[in-house]
Amino acid sequence: MSTSSGKEKVVCVTGSSGFIGSWIVRLLLERGYTVHACVKNLDDEKETKHLRALDPTGSRLRLFQIDLLNYDSLLAAIQKADGVLHVASPCIVDRVQDPESELLGPAVEGTKNVLSAAKASGVKRVVVTSSISAIIPSPKWPADAVKGEDCWTDLDYCKQKECWYPMSKTLAEKAAWEFAAENGLHVVVVNPGTVMGPVLPPTLNASMIMLLSLLQGCDEPYEDYYMGSVHVKDVALAHILLYENSSASGRHLCLESIAHFCDFAAKVAELYPEYNVARFPKDTQPGLMRAQNPCKKLIDLGLQFSSMEEIIRDSVESLRSKGFIS
């Protein structure tokens, strides 16, 4: 298995200011890479301050202001990079007014623009952040079969139920595979579950908001959005392992286990009985078969997944340290 080291290598990361992106930047810097970190607004300290803190001297971190729909801005960031980790994508789970302009268009066209800029810059390898939302909801999948890399979200179901976020992730990933096939670009994909853990940015991502809501008594079962949880550090490391290992190919499911939301909620209630965690029926995700260690492809690359308990403890402690809960 061939690998590459971080010494004198330049990696461009889109979505660097976000929950996953900032952890990827942190681990890349720790491994000796130079990072081109892409943000929406260089003048917004909520996007930049926590990134600059990862490299106070500024010797190996360069910030770029990009717009996923502006090819030239992406080209400026990606030029002179050896690889690209494309993490950025609009994330709106509810209250979508115009799906095409808010989610679908930016996700698909943004992905195409990133890959086009990577191809034009001579980049050898792109790791694309997809999601379990490109795997579920998939109600026609056999109930006695484990969902994995060969399962895709049902787009007709998404239209019917107005599940626009899974639709955006599915269309964007399919666009990435189509571009790779047509242009000979080496693309590999990460499909993380519900990502939680220590928060580096000043604001919370959708998954941590979900946990916060659960701790505050919310009884939403997230039927079409949950398949299992994963530690943010594990997700970041998965991206780097896929970039460094040239033998890696295809999709890579990335979660601690395939579980129902009720399993997660029960573990939260067990670990933190002082909070008003809702009780759920034993199966909150109809047709989802539970599975331990379902991510064989990443495990074979050396990734050791944090347990559900570790994910929850690190997440709750981060929420406490940042003052979101007491």
DSSP 141: S
CB 90 within 8 A of CB 130: no
Active site residue 169: yes
The number of residues making up the chain comes to: 326
Q: How many CB atoms lie within 10 A of CB 126?
A: 26
Helix, strand, coil: what percent of the chain each, to 5?
40, 15, 45
Could you give the C-alpha distances from 92 to 42, 119, 167, in angstroms and in order?
22, 29, 11
Helix or strand holding residue 169 (H, E) = helix 164-183
CB 93 within 8 A of CB 214: no
Give the whole-angstrom CA distance, residue 135 versus residue 18.
Answer: 22
User: How do strand 186-192 and strand 125-129 relate by DSSP bridges?
Assistant: parallel
Helix or strand holding residue 21 (H, E) = helix 19-30
Place of tokens 């990696």: 11
Choosing from 9, 49, 119, 169, the catalytic residue is 169
Give the whole-angstrom CA distance, residue 309 versus residue 311.
Answer: 5
Supply φ then ψ for residue 277, to 5 degrees. -80, 130
DSSP 133: G
Place of tokens 């890479």: 33
CB 222 within 8 A of CB 13: no
Catalytic residue set: 169
